[in-house]
Amino acid sequence: MNPGSLYVVSAPSGAGKTSLVKALLQKDPAIRLSVSYTTRAPRPGETNGVDYHFVGVEEFRQMAARGEFLESAEVYGNHYGTSRAWIAGEIAGGRDLLLEIDWQGAAQVKQHFPEAVTLFILPPSIEALRERLSNRGQDSREVIDKRMAAARDDISHAAEFEYIIVNDDFDQALLDFLAVVRASRLVTARQTRRLAPLFERFSQG
């Protein structure tokens, strides 16, 4: 069985990553979203096991000590981690997965899965990013300032990713996202494995 593909998507808060990922999953049902572990409290409408695996800080630390996470990070005082065994099992089973993680986690994943396809979602401008964060109506000015500072740091690592998509026009950004996925499935290394019977017939004349 051909192994599945792993897509790693990162972006600063407010860049529209979550909306793009949801739209991509609707367009391409062959891709599954990896469900991470987190110590933060569920937000309204979130379901345990669907959006995240919500665990306590102590349980998270024990999992980390046992080496269960492929990558883990602390973001705004909360811990996030991805199950190493689950990812490896899904990929080996031929299923395509998508991870939404920060640039640090992306670097960790790339060490274990060098064939992972990495994408960075970039806002069209710093002004547009601040406006999007403000329009959410969820955070105070102080929190928004902290998120903006973190966003500048995130964006400074964009060049470490294979692809950069600017989310200015949502429909175009989604088309770009889909184009990356389609192109990644056509690379020679994957095609020669998938089309091995066809190549064999060609070689037999």
Q: Is residue 75 part of a domain?
A: no
Q: What digits encode the pLDDT tens for the residues 52-95? A: 999 999 999 999 999 999 999 887 789 999 999 999 999 999 99
Instruction: Residue 101: give the domain boundaries.
Output: 6-34+96-203
Eight-state DSSP code of residue 169: S
Q: Is residue 158 part of a domain?
A: yes
Q: Is residue 67 part of a domain?
A: no
Q: By percentage, how much of the chain surpasses pLDDT 90?
A: 67
Residue 157 confidence (pLDDT): 96
Q: Is residue 177 part of a domain?
A: yes
Q: What digits encode the pLDDT tens for the residues 128-177? A: 888 878 877 677 888 888 888 888 999 999 999 999 999 999 999 999 99
| Residues in CB range of 71: below 8 A, 6 or more apart | 81, 82, 101, 104, 105, 106, 108, 109
Q: Which helix (H) or strand (E) holds 203?
A: helix 196-203
Eight-state DSSP code of residue 113: -
Q: What digits encode the pLDDT tens for the residues 179-203? A: 999 999 999 988 888 898 899 999 9
